[in-house]
Amino acid sequence: MRKKIIAGNWKMNKTAAEAAALIAGIKKEIEGVTTVEVVVCPPFTDLKDAAAACAGSSVMLGAQNVHWEASGAFTGEISAAMLKDLCVTHVIIGHSERRQYFGETDATVNKRTKAALAAGLTPIVCVGETLEERDGGQMESVVVRQTKLGLADLGADLAKIVVAYEPVWAIGTGRTASPEQAQQVHALIRRTLAEIGGVAVADTIRIQYGGSMKPDNAKELMSQPDIDGGLIGGAALKADSFAAIIKAGV
């Protein structure tokens, strides 16, 4: 049985004080929830205060990116050790906004994933097709390629990752994939994971859905056999809507 994992991707939102207040609100709303893994991923500048706000609760802390080098002349970058030092346990890698606006490629996704794993962080590796790719009949090839290249050569560490399927056309658009559409791609990702690491490992890996997941569609999406949680953008910025999604995963 895979434990559901709900992560909030706050993107470039919230100051440190706002982050602490949001986490306090989330903690209050989800008191007693133990069967879902809950992660919040604020901007880097919030992590220290966010870690203090998460302390003593089951809410875990994630970052939104990590560099693959341990240290050095990489202006503007953050290493895995720096994240570990701030009590970060998870890190989003290869989000479509990074691929679209910041030159992220399958090769850099792979490097970041390896660096995160080497430091003991849990990578949340994002894959997903654009609308143009879906309409052009390329959804399968894009998702399989991103999965295979992003997760290449991880060895036994493959079992430690989380995958997020985020169709780009559903992110921030209010246009969610239907549960059937999402399930079809999640099953494809799991078959691809089985090709890489074997069926037994693939069966243990959590695959989140992301893209306009809201309190009113979360339960139906997460009731699909291969949907093991969500990566939530807009609805993660308010304690009540984020908590409602978490409770839909119980």
26 in Cβ contact with 79 (< 8 Å)? no
- Of 37, 97, 133, 166, the catalytic one is 166
Q: In this complex, which beta carbon is closest to ligand PGA, that of residue 113 or of residue 212?
A: 212
Positive/negative CA dihedral, 171, 174, 179, 181: negative
Minimum distance from residue 75 beta carbon to ligand PGA (Å): 26
Minimum distance from residue 210 beta carbon to ligand PGA (Å): 4
168 in Cβ contact with 96 (< 8 Å)? yes
In the complex, the residues that contact ligand PGA under the rule CB under 6 A are: 9, 166, 171-172, 210-213, 231-235
Minimum distance from residue 171 beta carbon to ligand PGA (Å): 4
- Of 95, 97, 104, 129, the catalytic one is 95
230 in Cβ contact with 219 (< 8 Å)? no
Q: In this complex, which beta carbon is closest to ligand PGA, that of residue 11 or of residue 27?
A: 11
Minimum distance from residue 214 beta carbon to ligand PGA (Å): 8
Q: Does 166 qualify as catalytic in the annotation?
A: yes
Positive/negative CA dihedral, 226, 3, 23, 78: negative
Q: In this complex, which beta carbon is closest to ligand PGA, that of residue 116 or of residue 213?
A: 213
Q: In this complex, which beta carbon is closest to ligand PGA, that of residue 108 or of residue 176?
A: 176
Nearest to 57 by CA among 15, 23, 21, 16: 23
Q: Does 195 qualify as catalytic in the annotation?
A: no
Q: Which residues are catalytic?
A: 95, 166
